[in-house]
Structure 1
Amino acid sequence: MPIELAGYLKLGDAVIITDQDHRILDINRYYEQTTGYTRDSIIGFKAGFLKSGITPATTYTSLKNELRNGNPWSGVLTNRKKSGDVWHSSITITPVQVKNKSYFVGVFRELEQLKEGVYLSKKKRTETQRELLKILAISCEIRDPSIEEHLSRVQTLSEKLVIVHNRRMQLGMSERDIHHIAHASILHDIGKAEIPEGILYKPGPLSPYERTIIEMHPLMGADILNKISREINNEFISSLEVAENIILYHHEKWDGTGYPHHLKGEEIPLEARITAIVDVFDALTSRRAYKDSWSVGRALSFLNEQKGKHFDPDMVESFFECFVERE
């Protein structure tokens, strides 16, 4: 390893240095303490051997694209220690040129070990919460290989919809409120982790008993969320109430025929009404093992037909405006 890079190893955070092929050239003692790997045991390995399988593929795509273009990349990775334990880290990877050769310097901070009072910028904190919630949601639904794309689309489209609806209806929501809804929307179906696969992925019609089991997943999801919240700092899930409302009520319908509580109209929390329309739209326009995808036009026509029945009429109008703005 070039001597010019040795100074990075003196930093007070965990540091890993790799060559342009991402083979490990050196680590510092803080990296050893964090991961349990000694310097001599991992030099020469590709850095990817630490992967846990939980970090979303889109995170690695973003990482590779930035590094390929010679830019530094910052984000949240979930890796495994030598013990097998999972650890979440906020990491910045920076490309460094030394004598016409490329190297990468990764600086890690283990999120589990951050003390109260450690400063994170507002933007960085928002990004970190978003990534960790994505990891949590995907972990709960890891049985479905296509779920990551669905969850990411729901999160992105929910954010667009709440921004448009807030402006259109002059609700006066703060940026923080908008982030709470957008970030928590990704958790909407975590209760499906408790549903047997034979029911969840059944290609044919469900029996009344199977339908009853499916309709319990909002209650199961709320139970999962409450169990998680007892184990973590509430800052991880910025607004527990918003997340719980989305999980519990995103299958309620405007006319009161939904489940599990048969709420009607504005009895259904706003955040649940937002996630409901986005979830249905993405489900309709996505190919699944048991169905073909609909065209966007056909899906929008269905939403319009269900205005005042399944969906909040004002929310449907705001959703349509999202597509007008996109065009």
Structure 2
Amino acid sequence: MISYSMENSMKNLHTLLELADAVIITDADHRIIAVNHAYETITGHSSKSIIGKKAGILRTPYTPKETYAEMKEALSQGASWSGVFTNYKRNHELWNSSITITPFVCDNTTYYVGVFRELEQLQRGHYLDEGRVGNIQSSLLKVLAISCEIRDPGIESHLSSVQQMTEWLVVRHNQRVATDLSEEALAHIAHSSILHDIGKSGIPEGILYKPGPLASYERTIIEMHTQIGLDIVDKIFRELDDELFKKELNIAKNIILHHHEKWDGSGYPHRLQGENIPLEARIVSVVDVFDALISKRPYKEKWSIEKAIHYLVEQKSIHFDPEVVDSFVTLYEEGTLSPPES
């Protein structure tokens, strides 16, 4: 918090209005007492029309509530704050801006000076906050997965179930064994899990939905779905070359290619063993098998959750990473898991 004598401080505050960036000055109640020409130009609000109104007049539902909470907390302690807002212009268009708000004390009265930088005018172009990026990534990957496996009318339920349980499991496993994964990495794994069986779109239906046992050559064809899936996402994203999906793509590739590897090295396609199997693939492996067991399939009746959990525990250190299974079991013990609808 910066304090000046009344005369000098008010002079310095109004000098800030000469900045090229948009500037807004409010009183302690966050009522607008001055804005500069850049602010008027960007927002479409004239000084005459906006002075005396609350600064929240520009607020939209697209700025996360956490952003406002962080701002209020910092300002309440007399500290400056920087962040990103998505606000409305006078014509109701959206504008994204980086803002720094600094408290100034003038003769025991607090004023707040906000300096905005319009992100649309920066070289990188439009700004997307992390929440909106996450929603876009998740939605597009879900559409892609369902579109590629549309032959199966029940696939959307399975994919959504795998994605939801993966989200629960990665968070729990991260907490339980301290894997130190960031929230962003946890979200990437959950989003990408929905693509795990995308390669089955290239498997003949007669083999994919065969109600009886598979012949050895049919089993070999089924196992090709991991490499087919890898080829599909490579082709789809080769043209995209977008930072928005780069991390997601790398994780998706690991999940698609390795979610049928086994802890003891007897899985496919590369017979990886133990921690040589990417963590994201080990996590999706447990979820995928569990959901398959508790779901009705052409070749089997659905199992009870209790029976499926018992199988996962039996397969610790054989099929599955024992620590991942233990994390999954805690979800069962607290009642988080529920059977799919018939």
With the shorter chain as reference, the TM-score category is 0.5 to 0.7
Equivalent pair of 2:293/2:303 in contact (CA under 8 Å): yes
Is 1:245 the counterpart of 2:254? The answer is yes
Which residue of structure 1 aligns with residue 288 of structure 2? 279
Please state whether the residue corresponding to 1:192 is helix, strand or coil: helix
Q: Deviations over 1:114-146 (max 9, x none)?
A: x96222221121111101100000011000000
Work out whether residues 133 and 237 of structure 1, in 8 Å CA contact, stay in contact via their aligned partners in 2.
Answer: no
Conservation of the 8 A alpha-carbon contact between 2:294 and 2:302: yes
Size of the alignment, in residue pairs? 216
Q: Matched residues in 1 for 2:190 and 2:234: separation?
A: 19
Aligned residue number for residue 38 of structure 2: none
The yes-or-no answer on 1:168 pairing with 2:180 is no
What RMSD over aligned residues (CA atoms) do the two structures have, in Å?
A: 1.9
Task: Kindly indicate whether residue 175 of structure 2 is the aligned counterpart of residue 148 of structure 1.
Answer: no
Aligned residue number for residue 228 of structure 1: 236
Counterpart residue type for residue 149 of structure 1: S
Q: Which structure 2 residues correspond to residues 110-189 of structure 1 after superposition, within 5 A? A: 117-189=125-197
Which of the numbers 314, 327, 335 marks the counterpart of 1:318? 327
Q: Deviations over 1:265-308 (max 9, x none)?
A: 11100000000000000000011222211000000000011011
Give the SS at the match of 1:228.
helix
Which of 182, 194, 198 is the aligned partner of 2:206? 198
**Which amino acid is 1:151 matched to?**
L
Residues 161, 319 of structure 1: 8 Å contact kept: yes
Aligned residue among 313, 316, 328 for 1:307: 316
CA distance in 1, matches of 2:171, 2:267: 26
Give the Å deviation of 1:253.
Answer: 0.4
Moved more, 136-145 or 316-325: 316-325
Asked if 2 retains the 8 angstrom alpha-carbon contact of 1:253 and 1:263, the reply is yes
TM-score w.r.t. the length of structure 1 is: 0.63
Alpha-carbon distance between aligned partners in 2 of 1:266 and 1:238, rounded to the nearest angstrom:
20
In structure 1, distance between residues paired with 2:241 and 2:300: 40
What is the distance in 2 between the residues matched to 1:199 and 1:154?
Answer: 23
Query: Does the 8 A contact of 2:210 with 2:298 survive in 1?
Result: no
**Structure-to-structure mapping, 1:47-62, within 5 angstroms:** none
Match of 2:277 in 1: 268
Deviation at 1:176, TM superposition (A): 0.5
How far is 1:236 from its partner?
Answer: 3.5
CA distance in 2, matches of 1:230, 1:208: 34
| CA distance in 1 between partners of 2:234 and 2:325 (Å) | 31
Residue 54 of structure 1 corresponds to none
TM-score normalised according to structure 2 size: 0.61
Rate the CA distance shift 1:116–1:150 in 2: closer, same or farther, 3 A.
Answer: farther
Percent identical: 59
Structure 1 Cα separation of the partners of residues 319 and 287 of structure 2? 12
**Structure 1 ranges of 4+ moved more than 6 A:** none
Q: Which has the greater radius of gyration? A: 2
Say which SS state the counterpart of residue 175 (structure 2) adopts: helix
Q: Aligned equivalents of 1:216 and 1:301: distance in 2?
A: 29
Query: For residue 156 of structure 1, what is the amino acid of its counterpart?
Result: Q
Structure 2: unaligned runs, 5 residues or longer: 1-60, 62-93, 95-122, 337-342
Give the residue type in structure 2 aligned to 1:303.
L
Give me the whole-angstrom Cα distance separating, in 2, the residues matched to 1:290 and 1:131.
31
8 A Cα contact 1:250 1:276, kept in partner: yes
CA 1:116–1:143: 2 relative to 1, 3 Å: farther
Which amino acid is 2:316 matched to?
A: K
Per-residue Cα deviation, 1:63-90 (whole angstroms, up to 9, x for no partner): xxxxxxxxx9xxxxxxxxxxxxxxxxxx
Q: Deviations over 1:204-234 (max 9, x none)?
A: 1111111110011101111111111112243
